[in-house]
Each structure stands twice: as structure tokens, then as C-alpha cells.
Amino acid sequence: MPSRTGSHSPTGIGKSLPERGLLLLMVLVLLEGSVIPLGAASSPDTGHQKNVDNHKAEGEKNHTKKAFPVLDLDYRHIQTPFEISLWVLLASVMKLGFHMIPRLPGIVPESCLLITVGLLVGGLIKLAGEKVPPVLDSQLFFLCLLPPIILDAGYFLPIRPFMENLGTILMFAVVGTLWNAFFIGGLLYAVCQIQPANPNELHQLEILPCLLFGSIISAVDPVAVLAVFEEIHINELLHILVFGESLLNDAVTVVLYHLFEEYSAAGTVTVLDGFLGIISFLVVSLGGILVGAIYGILAAFTSRFTSHTRVIEPLFVFVYSYMAYLSAEMFHLSGIMALIACGAVMRPYVEANISHKSHTTIKYFLKMWSSVSETLIFIFLGVATVDGPHHWNWTFVTVTVILCLVSRVIGVVGLTCVINKFRIVKLTTKDQFIVAYGGMRGAIAFSLGFLLKKEEFPMREMFLTAIITVIFFTVFVQGMTIKPLVELLAVKKKQEAKRSINEEIHTQFLDHLLTGIEDICGHYGHHHWKDKLNRFNKKYVKKCLIAGERSKEPQLIAFYHKMEMKQAIDLVESGGGVNLPSAVPSTVSMQNIQPKKPPPAKPVEKALPKMTKGREEEIRQILRSNLQKTRQRLRSYNRHTLVADPYEDGFSELLIKKQKMIALEKKIKDMNYYLTVPAAPPDSPTMCRARLASDPQSYSSKPAMDRVPTIQVDLASPQSPDSVNLMDEFRRADQQEEDQGLTMKAPSGQSGFNRPGEADRGREQQKLTRCLSDPGPSADEEEEEEPFLP
Amino acid sequence: MGASQTRTEKYQDLADKTGFSLEQIENLHKRFQRLSDNEETIRNQHPKEVGSCEEIGFEQFLMVMSHFRPPSLKTTEEEKEAMRKEKLRFLFNMHDTGNDGTITLVEYRKVVEELLSKSGDIEQETVKAMADAAMLEVASTNVPHMAPDEFYEGITFEHFEQILKGLEMETKMYIRFLDVETPTLSCGNSTS
């Protein structure tokens, strides 16, 4: 959940006052919302009663005539959605508010602030004398609030580091959680049993409820981990270790929870039950993954056919994933693992099939939902804390907190000793510290505790109090101090730089190289299996699940095209043709790299005199009017269709057109003396996309329409200095584009072989982009409200 | 007796030079013998290729393999740096088939082409464009201000290091060398 740092105005304080006012208003409205139902509850009933009496008493016709209600207040009607929306609004406004305050987001993690807000809201509600709504209802939490966060995490899970460290992650998740649960549960029981002198309520605590409590509180919580680790930008390895652990321990938690809950009533657990528990664990985890994978493949397969209905593409992703979660929960399998598996499996295929816009939609919807969910969860935690019911027991709570810390540290250190024997890149002490310190508990533990039934577990309130205390401790104390500790220990941070094409090439090269070397050494190492999986994927799976040409596209090319597109969009956003805002400002362009080519055929150069102003104007007019004509054809807009985006539809056609253009260019080289003005100058893909990106209305390069009438003007004298080889200009400009691939520099007359010609070409190029991105005076903005932005 | 004595001495010698343990060298030797059909050297299948030699002996085999050793917990920072440099040097030499100390555009294009060679027919244009873009990136990162007339000869080793320093080679370029003998498969002479 990237926290966008909004515009920090210098008058930060002044700006936040209206915000505070707004927040206060929100809270008041919320209170009203809870008060009014009670008031409204009484009157309709009595009104109804009176009416009935009237009818009965008076008989047929003598109704007491009420005035027709012009304005009526019927809160009951909309109560539930209204309150839900109010909560969501409150959460979002809070999030906005935090970033208005100058230095707070740097010191205090957002989760702490949100819990505090929840506490305040809960407190206000309680002060107003109302009953606090049972917001952290387990049903609501597990079915509505948790899935978006997990789906967001699963869909964007970085697969490569995850797979590379899978063994470590599993060790921490399974063995670590088991160790925590038994250690905490067992020692708590032991502690509760001492104090022989005064008969304590703690003595009633049996071993099994203790173990149950241990299993609830031992699991590292993905929501809390995400919330805190997002802000500290730690290196990828540690992030994936802690985060992966928090995701995969769900299976263990589910099994232990159900096991101990079932048998707490019976009172004993036999060896057979333990054995069944282990089997159950395998079923739960593998079953969850299987369910998720099945739904993922279904989603990928469905997305293969969505080329005609692009609008609903994101829906498939969301609905299939949610159904995977629900199906898994139905069988008491691990819903979290199902969700992760579904997202991770479907992603590569879906992304190859869907349009760019759908991809953006999916990304932003997931981020939005998960952000709102997370905010709501923390606020509700605060509210539920105020609600209670609480039962504070000093011994129990303090011992729990201490035991949690101690067991986590011992667990991590112990496991790392074992793990390091099998890892090549060992985990250092610093790493271990961060992993141990980052084990936060969160709302899942609370919800699981909430689910316990009071009849079977008389100590439920005590459990809840202890859980909340641990959560507060980890989130506040550990959450606030982890950032300075990371700085202090100089832990490696995340690399901000984006993946460059060189890195991609060499990573792939390395993969192949290492597979080969493993082959030479003769043992089946993990590169070998990865290679086999890739081959299988390419040969069979991709053919089924990816539509059309994209199924054969190797990964490197896909990466390259993505980069190209991104650069083109950047270029247009930065104003077209002017210096590209690249990471390293440099004046290096393709000319510097290409080995010196012999200058192109002489006759073409000779026909490149300067163009007069008048001619330029003419050309511009012609272009504009032609573009307008094509735009008018697209005016019929339908809510259910998106304006066609040629990139998706004509991917392979673009490539074919590129080739056609090259062939055409060769022909044109001989035709020097025609002024042909194509309305939509055909296209190197970069140019085409760049142009389209800036001007959403000129979708004239739909394949059917690109041969717009060309005006051929035979000039009076072929040798006249005014004759402009415009077509050739375009061609050469485009060819220049092609060679350049990614950089579209307006050379401003300096580079290249032919100075004066280049100058013109450069300026012409610039003018070309500018005039094409100018929508023209009378164009309407009907078709598409917003331009094609990333 | 005498024969095995000199052999262990030889192994010890090799171990010191390459950093392998004695068991690993034993294993690799067995593998070498299987690959070379129990002869002293492995012959090159394609002897006429640029930059290849006719045959290699066990020592050279080991030297090449030693480039793929992983860092251990005890390697210091400087040793890690040295290891990274060595691995990068190995990669660089693989690309620089002309042996002139720089990777030229033609050589780089060949690298990309070979990477994509198994994926069906890829257009030459795309390969060219990609290699060009990559080269451009190297150039602009390392020599940001070049006058339009200058010509960027090729990627030197320093530039190569600079470009790939984000990848942390010492943690990526390794394979597991086994200490104990595993029943190795007969990956014979017919490799793809």
C-alpha cells in the first residue's frame, strides 16, 4: 500500500485546520448515525399501531387524513449501507489527514495512527452512551476485509525471490509457528499453575485452552507485517522472508486452531489425534494451493477469450480469486494459501492476454481495496478494544507478552542455525534480528480469539485482553522502533532502481549458463528443474492459456516491449521530442553507437532543400484537416465498448506494418518528387504509440483505415528548390525512429551525417509530433474522457 | 600407494589453487572422466569456433568450475568484491569473442540473438533494436556526455561491472558443488 506523499504545502498547519473540521464533522455524523436509529425505532411502531387502531375503531372510510409528507426522514431504510459508507469514508479521510501533518508519517507508522483513531472513535461512541457496533465481527473480517489484502499480496508476489527462498520460508512458517504455539502454550500453563498459595482463577486454565491460546497468538500476521514493512523499504530478501512466512503460516494456524478447539471440550488429545493433525495439515495446505491453482488456471483460460469485451476483464480476476478463497474456506482449507496460489498462477497468463488498461485497472483496484481494508481493520481494532469486554489479569498478560518475544527470538535463532546449513547465501545475525523483530501480530489473532465461544472457554475475555495487549505492543513498540533500528544497524535497503534491459539480458543469460554448468557437473540442481518447468510451460501451458501471437513471445521480448512502451509514454508526457527525462541525463544517442555507416544514397540527399514557411503551413493544414476527418468517423460512442486501442488489437499487425514500411521506404527512395501527405503517417510502432498516447482521438491507425487518401501534388518543376521530399522526410524520420528504438531525440541539427538536412529533419520531427498532438481547434472530446495514461 | 599419494598431493595442490574441498575435487574428477571417456582431456566438439581451444585437461576444467563457487559465511567484504569481479570477468570473456577487451555492438547483438534463438523465429529487427537499446543504456550510464561525433567503441570491463553491479553476482552465479558422491546421470556427449 504505497503511501503517496501528497503535496506538502508550506502552510501545512493552516491547511490541516479545515481537514480537522471535516474530520470532526465526520465523527459527529457517525454518532448521529448511531443515535438516530434508536429514536426512529420507537415512532414508526407506535405510528403503525395507531393506524391499525384507527382502522379498527373507525371502520371503513373515516381515515384521519394525514398531510402528504413532502419531506420525510426514513433512516431505517438506508441504515446499513449508510453506516458502512460512513466508516469507509472515515477511514479514507483519516488516511488523507495523516499526510497533511508535517512530520508524523515519518516517525509513527500509519497502523499506529489508525488504531489510535479507532480508539478515539470508539471512545466517543461510548461517551455518547451508545452501544459500540460490533465492527470486528469475524464474519465481516474473514469474508470481506481480509481477502483484498491477501489478493493484492498474492497477485503482486515477486515469484523469483519467493521460490528461491521457499525452503527457508516454509521452515519459518511451519516449524517456527509450531514451536511458538507449543512453547507459549506450555509455559503459560506452567506459569498459571504456580502460585499454589492463593487459589487463583488462573488455576482453572487447562492445558488445552492454553495451547489453543498459544496457537492463536503465535502466528505472524500478514496485514501488520505489510503495513509496517511497506514503510521501511528493507531489502528484498528479508521482506520476502517475513512476508512469506506470514502468508504461509495460515495453514498451520488453521489446523492447530481447529484441533485444539475441537478437543478442548473433550479434554485430552491422543497420539492418534496428533497424527490426524499432521495429515490434516498436509490436506489443508496442499488442498488450499490446489483449489487456488485450479481457479487460477480457469481465470487464465477465460481471459484468453476476452479480446472483444475488454471492459469486464478485471472482473474475472477479482471474482475468480474471491471464489477460490470462498471455496477453500468452505472446506476449511487454508483460504489464504488458495488466494495466493490463485493470484500467482494466473498472473503471467492473464497479463499476456488482457489489455493495458485492464492491467492498470486491476492494479489500482487491488491497491485501493487493500488499502481501504487495511485502514478499516486497524480502526476497527481500536474500536473493538474500547468495546471490550475486558478482563485484565496482570500475570497472564505480562507473561504472554514476554513469552511471545522470547519464543520468537529463540525460534528464529534456532531455525537459522539449521537453515544456514542448507543455504548458500547465509542469513547473518542482522538478518535474524530483523526477522525476529518483524514478527508482528495483528487482527487475525484477534478475530480468531473473538470466534471462541464463551460457553466452552470461560476465560475468553482474558484471552482477548491478552491478545489485544500483544497486538498493541507489537504494532506500537515494534512498529515504531523498527525503522530507527534498521537505520542503526545499517541493514541493506531495497534497491530503488528499475530493472534495466541489461540486467534482464544478463539474468536470463545467467540462467541458461548455470543450467548448462549444472548439466556438465552432472547433478540435477534447482536450475535444472527450473529450466524443465520453463520448457514445459512454454510448450504446453502457454499455448492453451494465452491468446494469439503472444503465446510464443519469449520473456525477454515481452520485457523489451513493455520498456519501449513505458519510454514512449514517458516521452509524450514530458512534452514530446524534447530531452527525455532519463535517469542519467546524457547526450548519447544512437549515432554514437552505430558503427559509421556509409552515408545513404546521394540522389536522395540532393532533393532535400530547405522548406519555406508557406509550404510548412500548407502541410500542417492538410495534416490537420485529414486528422479531423478521421476523428469524426469515430464519434459513435457506446458505454460498453472502449475505444479500440490498436496496441492490443494490432500487435502483430504493427509488426507486419513495420516490415511493410521498410519495404515501402525502399520503393519511395526512388520517388523523389511527389508531395504525398498521408493523414496518418505510417508508423514505426514507437511513433505510433507515442502519437496515440498524446492524442486519444486519432485512432486512425486502425488497420482498416490507415490508407487514408493521400494527396499527390505534382509540382511544377521537379527540380524546383521548393520541392520537398516530404514523404521521404517521414520515411527517414520513421526509419530514424526505428533505429533509435527507445530514444526519440530531436537532434537539433547537430548529429548525423548531413548537417543542414538533419537540422530540418530535426525540426520537422519536432513539429510533426507537436502538430499531431495538437487536437485541432474544433475537435470535441467526446469519445474518451481521459487520455491514455499509464 | 605411491600413486594415490601423489594424487592426493595433486588434489591438495588444486584445492589450494581453486578453493574446492578434496571431496569436491574427487567428485569432479570422476565426472570429468566420464565426460572424457576416461582419457586425459576432453575434446572440443566444435573446434573451429572463434575463441575455442582444442581440448582441455582436468586442471583447466577445475579452473573454469571454480568460477561458480558460492561465497561462504566467512568470506569478508573484500573477498566478496574480488569474487564478484572474477565472476564478472568470466562473463565478460564469454561475450567478448573477439578478445580485444571490449564487447562491441556486433558481439552484443550475437549474445542477444543466441538468447532468443530457441524461441521460434524472432525478427532480426527486434533483436537488433534490443541489442542497440542495451548498448545505448550502457553508454549513457557510463559516458553520459558524448559529443555527437564520438563513437562508443564497445563495453569495457569497467563499464560492464558498473552496469551489472545491481545484480550482486556473487550471490547469483553459483551452483552447488556436492561433497558426497551422488549417483550422477550420464549426461553424455550429445548435449543440445
Integer angstrom CA distances of residue A373 from A6, A109, A153, A239, A244: 21, 16, 13, 21, 20
Interface test with A, best of B132, B142, B186, B192 (most A CBs within 10 A): B132
User: B14-32: per-residue pLDDT in tens?
Assistant: 777 777 778 888 888 888 8
Which one is predicted more confidently, B13 or A712?
B13
> How confident is the model at residue A414, as a pLDDT?
93
Is A511:A527 a contact under the CB 8 Å cutoff? Answer: yes
> How confident is the model at residue A46, as a pLDDT?
40
Is B67:B157 a contact under the CB 8 Å cutoff? Answer: no
3-state secondary structure A315-340: HHHHHHHHHHHHHHHHCCCCHHHHHH
The DSSP code for A493 is: B
For A206: left if phi > 0, alpha if psi spans -120 to 50, otherwise beta; the answer is beta
Q: Is A417 on the interface with B (CB under 8 A)?
A: no
Which one is predicted more confidently, A220 or B45?
A220
> How confident is the model at residue A321, as a pLDDT?
94
- The class (CATH top level) of A138-490 is mainly alpha
> How confident is the model at residue A610, as a pLDDT?
53
User: A131-142: per-residue pLDDT in tens?
Assistant: 767 666 778 888
Q: Which residues of B touch A424 (CB under 8 A)?
A: 70-71, 171, 174, 176
pTM of the model: 0.69
Is A35:A128 a contact under the CB 8 Å cutoff? Answer: yes
B140 and A426 within 8 Å at the Cβ level: the answer is no
Q: Is A614 on the interface with B (CB under 8 A)?
A: no
The band of B57, judged by pLDDT with boundaries at 50, 70 and 90, is confident
User: A274-318: per-residue pLDDT in tens?
Assistant: 888 889 889 999 999 999 999 999 999 988 888 888 888 899 999
> How confident is the model at residue A749, as a pLDDT?
36
A587 and B145 within 8 Å at the Cβ level: the answer is yes
Shortest Cα distance, chain B CAs vs residue A229, angstroms? 22
Give alpha helix (H) positions in A607-725.
613-632, 646-649, 651-668, 685-694
Provide the 3-class DSSP secondary structure of residue B43: strand
Give the residue on B whose Cα is nearest the Cα of A496.
B166
Integer angstrom CA distances of residue A24 from A21, A27, A94, A104, A113: 5, 5, 11, 20, 16
Q: Is A529 on the interface with B (CB under 8 A)?
A: no
Q: Which one of A506, A655, A742 has the shortest CB-CB distance to B133?
A: A742
- Measured in whole angstroms, the distance separating CA A219 from the mean position of its chain's CA atoms is 24
Q: Which one of B116, B164, B176 has the shortest CB-CB distance to A557?
A: B116
Q: Is A512 on the interface with B (CB under 8 A)?
A: yes
**Which residues of chain B are in CATH 1.10.238.10 domains?**
72-172
Interface test with B, best of A431, A520, A546, A740 (most B CBs within 10 A): A520
B136 and A514 within 8 Å at the Cβ level: the answer is no
Nearest to A594 by CA among B31, B131, B25, B21: B131
Q: Is A537 on the interface with B (CB under 8 A)?
A: no
Question: How many other CB atoms sit within 10 Å of the CB of residue B12?
Answer: 12
A552 and B119 within 8 Å at the Cβ level: the answer is yes
The band of B119, judged by pLDDT with boundaries at 50, 70 and 90, is low
Nearest to A114 by CA among A92, A135, A140, A131: A92
> How confident is the model at residue A497, as a pLDDT?
64
Nearest to B161 by CA among B92, B109, B112: B92
Burial code (b: 16+ CB inside 10 Å, e: under 16) for A384-408 equals bbbbeeebebeebbebbbebbbebb
Residue B100 has which C-alpha cell?
580485444
B34 and A522 within 8 Å at the Cβ level: the answer is yes
Query: What's the CATH number for B72-172?
Result: 1.10.238.10
User: A672-698: per-residue pLDDT in tens?
Assistant: 444 444 444 444 444 444 444 444 444
**Residue written as grid cell 535517469:** A583
Residue A173 CB burial class (10 angstroms; 0-12, 13-18, ≥19): buried
User: B182-191: per-residue pLDDT in tens?
Assistant: 554 444 444 4
Q: Is A186 on the interface with B (CB under 8 A)?
A: no
CA distance A446 to A377: 11
Low-confidence stretches of chain A (pLDDT beneath 50): 1-15, 34-60, 579-584, 597-608, 632-636, 642, 644-652, 672-790
Q: Is the ipTM of this complex over 0.90?
A: no
